[in-house]
Chain A
Amino acid sequence: MRISTVRNEEFLFHLGVFIFVILFFIYPMFSIIRYSFLKASPEIPVDQWKFVGFRNFRRVAIEGHLGAAIYKTIVYAVVGSAVPMIFAMLFALLVNSFAPRFRRIINSILIIPMLILPVAAGIAWSFFLSEHYGWFNFFISKLGFKGKPWLMTRYSLWFVILTDIWGWTPWCYIILLAALQQLPPIIFDAASIDGAAGFNKFRFVTFPMIKKVFLTVFTLKLIDTYKAFDYLWVMTGGGPGSASTTLNIAAYKQLMYYRDLGTAGAYGVISIIFPIVATLILFLFIARKE
């Protein structure tokens, strides 16, 4: 594909991106690492910021429930991406077996959660999960259990994950359906003739062909869920107590409420390290495979 050219032109083509990357990625990354070693606040002048070594990290680990925050972040990311992917896969297979015109109608219905503001959807879901008004408790009381204000119990994280699944399954579904539709139908006919049907057809014929797309989407979704903030913040604000405090929520609270730049920086650095290390491992893995 390479077309003969002078290399200087390549730099010109990338100039805009380089400016953005240096100003708004590399420089902030160094800044946040620096902040995490400082006792600092946006409220006090820069010359009074003090270097305190690893004290912020120690404080975060001992007083700040760092372990719990990491655990909740990982639970949120893994459950909140694996479940939508499974749902989306099943549903894409289901819809793919219907007629194209029918498919279009279903697609336009299923895309609705993606259009609504995540913030508004989150607040609406906190209404559905509320004690006296919500239909969730209505169903539960019909089944004979006692209703609770679920977002104020220690299970609040799981209900935010439920909302996240509701909001993001369509996204996964649309991509997986697009992938399914790009497969040549001849292969399925051949598989049917050879006697493949039901789960075996999916396991040995369909899935291997969309495996790459599936893994790509899963990785993207995993990263996006790891970065999730909107639903958590508007539904529980990390509460009650710290029941749904993930790394992002903790960092946000430290900066915006306690005005503690050092601690916020420590949480921020930890939350940034995870995806970077994961990406590096993934790359080494791919490089070794090749």
Chain B
Amino acid sequence: MQYLKTTLKLIALIVVVLWTLIPVIWFFMMAFTTYGGLPRGIGLPKILTLDSFREAIGGIYSVLPGIKDSLIFSLVCILLVLLTCFTSSYACSRIRGTYSTIVYYFLVLIRGVPFVGIGIPYFIMFKNWGLLDTIWAPALGLTTIGLPMNIWILTQFIDGIPTEFEEAAEVDGASFFAKYFKIMLPLMLPGVFTILILTYFGAYNHYVLCLMLSRGTFSPVSVKVAGFATELTVRWPEMAAASVIGVIPMIIIFVIFGKYLLKGFASLATG
């Protein structure tokens, strides 16, 4: 009975792992062949070559500027998140006055708004402001839509920090802002890091707002990759190669900071 149970468990595990991995492996294989060499059904590619990588790096649709744009975009989003969420979550956790309540209700509303729906007024708004086709239009939009998750996660993190630190500082005569900058900021850093990593992952992959608000001059990886699929044909191998290159920065960051990302997800689990 015990053996049967273990076997069944292992089979279920293998099925799920295959279901997750087969598309990824296929995807990888696609990158190392040409259009003519693509496998039909189950099979290995007929031609093995690095041509598609050469095309994806050096061709007209080179993905490298896209990676640069994506990285800058993530960085801008991270800076905007730092400007807003940092202080606001502190107030939501520790002060909890009227303003915090107002912010809280707005966050709940913002969380539900679809990107396309809010992208429509953004399109006109940023056009009037002359920000269309720059990095700022999607970055400001994405930061706004990302506010709820970031503030919720950070607030929860601050809730976990004992208030004794601040009380001790208060007793010692620290001013409100000294308390915030000298005592709380260092303690908040791990939580801040978590939301920054989450922001990075959201921004690097982001597509909708970039597609709507900045065509041409600023195009991140996702827009570049989607560019390989046109109405008439899809250049599968080049597309796959471009996204394999495009995913490298994600993997690097994940290997280094994956711990914080998982921590961020785990903090949702305590919610």
Contacts and interface: CB of A to CB of B under 8 A. Distances in A.
B109 A279 contact: yes
Interface stretch (A57-65, A78-86, A187-195, A209-217): A209-217
Contact of B144 (A25, A171, A255, A269): A25
Contacts of A94: 9, 12-13, 16
B116 A248 contact: yes
Nearest to B39: A133
Contacts of B21: 109, 112
A264 B108 CA distance: 24
A125 B23 contact: yes
Contacts, number: 301
A182 interface: yes
Interface residues of B, number: 99
Contacts of B110: 21, 25
Interface in B1-52: 9, 12-13, 16-17, 19-24, 26-27, 30, 38-42
Nearest to A220: B268
A255 B96 contact: no
Contact of B226 (A109, A216, A226, A234): A234
B77 interface: no
A213 B270 contact: yes
Q: How large is the interface on A (under 10, 10 to 19, 20 to 34, 35 or more residues)?
A: 35 or more
Contact of A252 (B83, B140, B212): B212
Contact of B88 (A6, A17, A179): A17
28 contacts: A2-B94, A9-B177, A11-B99, A13-B88, A13-B90, A14-B87, A14-B91, A21-B106, A21-B147, A27-B121, A31-B125, A106-B13, A113-B20, A114-B201, A118-B207, A121-B23, A123-B229, A127-B234, A128-B26, A133-B39, A174-B265, A217-B268, A247-B114, A251-B117, A261-B120, A264-B120, A268-B116, A278-B112
